């Protein structure tokens, strides 16, 4: 089963960074629970249309952060992660992404009101009108 990862080869953000970042989210959000066997570096390389070495680097980086554990000849597994780090990471990731987007939008000349409107509309796509939420 392929991982829900979306990378862009046109983006200025380096490939290994995009992949690592998204895998952190998957792990911290619990979508990849501790013990899960990750795809082999070759599988993930195909899936993300990049080289095996790049994936290898991602796994190494995640291992150095204690998020995964890799064993030669066997595979790479998700490690146990303290609850503390979970919420913290997701919160900061979203906060940074939002800030960056807002900076970008502001620079285009839009004012606070317009930025809010644009974003409000976008949010409705992500959280499709749950009637009872109001």
- What is the length of the chain? 134
Q: Quick one: tokens of 2?
A: 């392929």
What residues between 12 and 71 interact with DNA by CB under 7 A?
A: 12, 14-17, 38, 40-43, 50-54, 56-57, 59-60, 70-71
> Which residue has 């013990």 as its token pair?
35
Q: Quick one: tokens of 10?
A: 């046109």
- Among positions 49, 82, 84, 112, the unique one binding its own copies when judged by CB under 8 A: 112
Q: Quick one: tokens of 98?
A: 């939002």
What residues between 81 and 100 interact with its own copies by CB under 8 A?
A: 90-91, 93-95, 97-100
Shortest separation between residue 61's beta carbon and its own copies, angstroms: 12
Closer residue to its own copies (CB): 42 or 122: 122
Phi/psi region, residue 74 (left: phi>0; alpha: psi -120 to 50; beta: rest), is alpha
- Which residues of the shown chain bind DNA in the complex (CB under 7 A)? 12, 14-17, 38, 40-43, 50-54, 56-57, 59-60, 70-76
């Amino acid at each position: 089963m392929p991982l829900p990862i979306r990378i862009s080869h046109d983006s200025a953000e380096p490939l290994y960074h995009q992949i690592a970042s998204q895998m952190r989210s998957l792990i911290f959000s619990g979508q990849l629970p501790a013990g899960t066997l990750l795809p082999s570096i070759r599988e993930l390389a195909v899936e993300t249309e990049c080289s095996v070495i790049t994936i290898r680097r991602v796994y190494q980086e995640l291992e150095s952060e204690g998020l995964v554990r890799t064993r030669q000849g066997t595979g790479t597994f998700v490690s146990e992660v303290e609850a503390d780090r979970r919420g913290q990471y997701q919160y900061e990731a979203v906060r940074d992404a939002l800030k960056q987007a807002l900076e970008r939008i502001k620079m285009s000349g839009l004012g606070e009101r317009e930025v809010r409107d644009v974003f409000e509309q976008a949010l409705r796509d992500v959280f499709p009108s749950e009637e009872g939420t109001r």
